[in-house]
Chains A and B, each alone.
Chain A
Amino acid sequence: MSHPSPRMDLLVTKLRPPPVREKQVARGRLLEKLDAALNQRLTLVCAPAGYGKTTLLSQWVERRAEPVGWVSLDRSDNDLAQFLRYFFAAIQRVDANSFAALPEIAPPPQSMPGPAVWTPVLNAIAASKKEFIVILDDYQEVEERAVHEALDYLIEHMPDNLHLILATRGDPPFSLPRLRARGHLTELRLRELRFSAEETADFLNNIMNLGLSAQDLDSLENRTEGWIASLQLAALSLQIHGQDIGARSEFIRSFTGSHRFILDYLVGEVLEHQPPTLQDFLLKTSILERLNGRLCDAVIAEGDSEGAEGPGQSQAARLSTASSQSILEHLESANLFIIPLDNDRLWYRYHRLFSDLLRKRLMQIYPHLAPALHDRASRWYEQQGLAGEAIQHALAAKSYERAAALIEANIEVTLMRSEVKTFLNWVGRLPDGYQRSRPRISFFYTWALLVSGHSLEVVEQQMESLASVQVAAESASAMHGRMAALRAYHKLFQADFYAAARLCQEALENLPESEHFLRSIVAWILSMARLSSDDLQDGGQTLDKVIQTSQETGNPLIAVATLSHRARLQMRQGRLQLAHETLMQALQLATNPRGERLPIASEALIVLGDLEREWNHLEKAEDYLNESIALARQWNELSSFDAYFPLMRLRLAQGDPDGAAEAIETAWQIAHGSDFSQIDDVLADFQQAYFNILRGNTLAAMRWVEERRLAPSETLKHQPALSRQQDYIETHMRKYELLLLARIFILKGQAARALELLEALSDQARQLERTDLAIEIHILRALAFQQVGDDDRACTALAEALSLAEPGGYVRIFLDEGEPMLRLLRQAISRGLFPAYAAKLLAASAQAAPPPSEAAPAASISQALIDPLSERELEVLRLLAAGMSNPEIAGKLYVAVSTIRTHCKSIYGKLGVHGRWEAAQRAQALGLI
């Protein structure tokens, strides 16, 4: 059921400069300036179209003994994944050996934002002895911010032996002034790129052999102002007049005397003097992005002057146009602005300026012909099995019926490759009527909207209009089934699992057997709905069925999502190695034979990233998480949401609190950007609270406690299977929230309350077989006992945690607790409790040794005061900041209230504040608490 996508192939033609012509103007000074690029990070060749940028660079590349990387960019490179693939392929051409050893780049890499993607590449380049030059031609085609950012980063961090050359029609959005100031930038601009008087003369008289007088040369140079494209056209016009001096003079006179837009004038001149068949050919093929002999044959039909003709061609027509290929070759040798894209002369394209002007003439001369031409192109592409181009041309032809038919035929293929945005784009260009008359398109369009995280309003509107679609009686049941499936999906996202499950049953009852794709989706939704309960066993079995079905139908989407979810469950049970295997299986399914990852792989990569983080493989975790975020963005932004929490914890583990804050911030923005569900908002709040607690920011954490109305005495209810959204949030999230509350108690020095809460949670965790929660609970118990000085109980609790954690090899769950945990681990070793494991953990913490960060746990102290606080004063300050009154503090420390008052006065003085609240603020700011 899945088709190979031609789009995923690397087009070799993009990786080579166009062939260099034999005779070209020698632009020595410019070539020398490019040579200087070897001392430079970025060389910018910036001028409008038609100033010979590509030609110059091709010449330069040819001169060089060593290979140079080249990418001819076009609109499709606005996809970061594709851009990077080509970029890396270009680098590999420079030195294939350096990269054979790096498996990360050998197969085409996947799209990743920011640093992670460049690191292995830059390291490999830096380690190599070679000079790496990469040329990016036509950079103005890139408009996607993600690509600009990626390159910006690259330019900032390039090793000395990497050099980038950008050819573009307009300044790229990098910080050019900064680069100039630092001397990292060389520029070749319009002033240098236009033909000088000497070069004009060289071109016209030597290359084109025109033998013009000095005066003529002068006139032409003035008129064209060194615009190379116009000089080329002028030369062609002059060549046409051959040796007829009168005609040539006439041409020059009219040309220089005319004020008409120069290129328009010249193209007109040149065209006028071509044989009619050639003119016809040029005008009609101007609508094509790329030209191929057979494609051109199909697009041209001899003898149509006006209006649309059918695709069938007469015998005569076929004979006379069988030479499209030879026409193309003739155009190339005549220098008529056509560029071969490969050495086999299979594909060509026109120079942009030229095709624009041709198209303008086409519209002027044959105002109604364009749609017919697009239609023929569309049919040709369809026959070749290139659906994407076929659809684009059909839409351009406004052949909506055909376009709709093509889109409908390719729905599953497109969606299964997670190319949701492409599909949405196509359907968006169909007038309403065409969508409505094809219920399957309507339906999947709605589904695509849902999946890509569009606002609820939009989706619901769509669903309403969908429901009103008139359908024939026999497919009413199928339509019913589809609607039920759609609603089930919708309910799933709203965590209304009961309704979701009910709708799934309805869907399965009504959908015909032939609707494989939808049926497997429904099965998945059903298993997700069941899994929302903590009934792990039953959930596991349902998943097995889903995986089996989706593998049978060849639908990786569901299988991957399901396997990822199963891995999560396995992690909850503490079976980390098993989870890893499951995830590897999922990744394999989500990777196509060429080694490229489908967007759905992001689901697996999130869990994998979290898993590697837990094992303290921080670099791997970083790679996986970054990759998952980038892939998820192609699928829909909302899916990337889940990645930011493991990312936050990763950043904290790396000693990068700013990075952690940034991750939370991004998650926040995503959550608020979508009213799809309340759950993400709650989750974002929760993670923010966790972050605050880890940084010792009790004030913010307390505010969260109030907002969530977390009564400490609340015990955990076992969540009934299939509950509604509110219930789900209240009960499902509650246990995590209560764990956080326990942390807050410990932070505030209220160990007793923490322990009380933890006992209750512990029972529940055991019942639910949540090994992960159980480990965390025991760790917190250990920390609480430690705080009150009960070392025995602390070690016992720690031992329980270690015992549960050892099989899975947990690391970070311990290390994230910081110094207090390290003390406990040392104690455990000295008591002979899990000495090997504890020692391993201690060793791991020594290795990581992140730089001292602002996020100092409450136990450690950083003094920035002239007159530092004493130990006692710090103790008082901590309790004070936790909200205790003087009598409470006095009671806790077994001293008189007056003593506390004295301490407070001293503290205020040293901190330079006047009251408790200020003292707490100041203390936090200084990192004292």
Chain B
Amino acid sequence: MSIDGGVPKLTYEIRVRGELDQSWKSYFNGMTITPAYSGDSPITTLIAAVADQPALRGLLCKLWDLNLSLISVRQLGEDCAKEV
């Protein structure tokens, strides 16, 4: 019954088409946001630590609702986790 959903256990790398700047950090609860380019088109890499799968789903839904095209979603191992 506790509301603070425990310590984040999973780290995901999500890449979307388009450029999201750092102003999005608070909307996405403190994700790491890194813009990049693939050829000429802008891509943003987001690194998020989530507590569980439902949390991941919620995050993906947020991206979805903004009509951001997903390029890839990848789970990162513990050693690869960047700072949140």
Contact = CB atoms under 8 A, between A and B. Distances in A.
Contact of A427 (B1, B20, B24, B65): B1
B66 A353 contact: yes
Main secondary structure on A side of the interface with B: helix
A50 B67 contact: yes
Given A259-B19, A356-B65, A430 B1 contact: yes
A394 to B, nearest CB: 13
Interface in B42-63: 42, 44, 62
Interface string A175-218: 00000000000000000000000000000000000000000000
Nearest to A435: B1
A431 B3 contact: yes
Nearest to A227: B67
B81 to A, nearest CB: 24
A2 B9 CA distance: 45
A360 B65 CA distance: 13
B21 interface: yes
Interface string B6-21: 0000000000001111
B27 A261 contact: no
Interface in A391-432: 427-432
B19 A261 contact: yes
B27 A360 contact: yes
A360 B24 contact: yes
B72 interface: no
A367 interface: yes
A781 interface: no
Q: Main SS of the interface on chain B?
A: loop
Contacts of B4: 431
A432 B20 contact: no
A363 interface: yes
B26 A261 contact: no
- Interface residue tally of chain A, by bracket? 20 to 34
Interface in A319-371: 352-353, 356-357, 359-361, 363-364, 367
B42 A259 contact: yes
Contacts of A359: 27
Interface residues of B, number: 20
A260 interface: yes
B3 A430 contact: yes
A428 B1 CA distance: 5
B67 A260 contact: no
A912 interface: no
Contacts of A360: 23-24, 26-27
B76 interface: no
A262 B41 CA distance: 13
A261 B65 contact: no
B67 A263 contact: yes
Contact of B23 (A169, A259, A364, A428): A364
Nearest to B25: A364
A263 B66 contact: yes
Interface string A502-534: 000000000000000000000000000000000
Contact of B21 (A227, A260, A428, A430): A260
A227 B42 CA distance: 18
Nearest to B27: A360
Contact of B65 (A227, A264, A352, A428): A352
A48 B3 contact: no
Contact of B18 (A48, A50, A262): A262
Contacts of B68: 261
A431 B1 CA distance: 7
Most chain B beta carbons < 10 A, residue from A261, A262, A357, A432: A261
B69 to A, nearest CB: 9
A468 to B, nearest CB: 15
A49 interface: yes
A729 B42 CA distance: 69
Contacts of B65: 49, 169, 352-353, 356
Contacts of B66: 49, 261, 263, 353, 356-357
A56 to B, nearest CB: 17
Contacts of A262: 18
A445 B66 CA distance: 37
Contacts of A170: 64
Contacts of B64: 48, 169-170
Nearest to A261: B18
B63 to A, nearest CB: 10
Nearest to B19: A259
A228 to B, nearest CB: 11
Contacts of B18: 259-262
Nearest to B29: A363
Contacts of A357: 66
What are the nearest 8 A-B pairs in CB distance?
A259-B42, A360-B27, A363-B26, A48-B67, A259-B19, A261-B18, A364-B23, A260-B19
22 contacts: A49-B65, A49-B67, A50-B67, A170-B64, A260-B20, A261-B20, A261-B66, A264-B20, A264-B21, A264-B24, A356-B65, A359-B27, A360-B24, A360-B27, A361-B23, A363-B26, A363-B27, A364-B26, A364-B27, A431-B1, A431-B2, A431-B4
Given A261-B19, A364-B27, 13 more contacts: A49-B66, A169-B64, A227-B67, A261-B44, A263-B67, A264-B20, A353-B65, A361-B23, A363-B26, A364-B23, A364-B26, A429-B3, A430-B3
Interface of A: 48-50, 169-170, 227, 259-264, 352-353, 356-357, 359-361, 363-364, 367, 427-432, 435
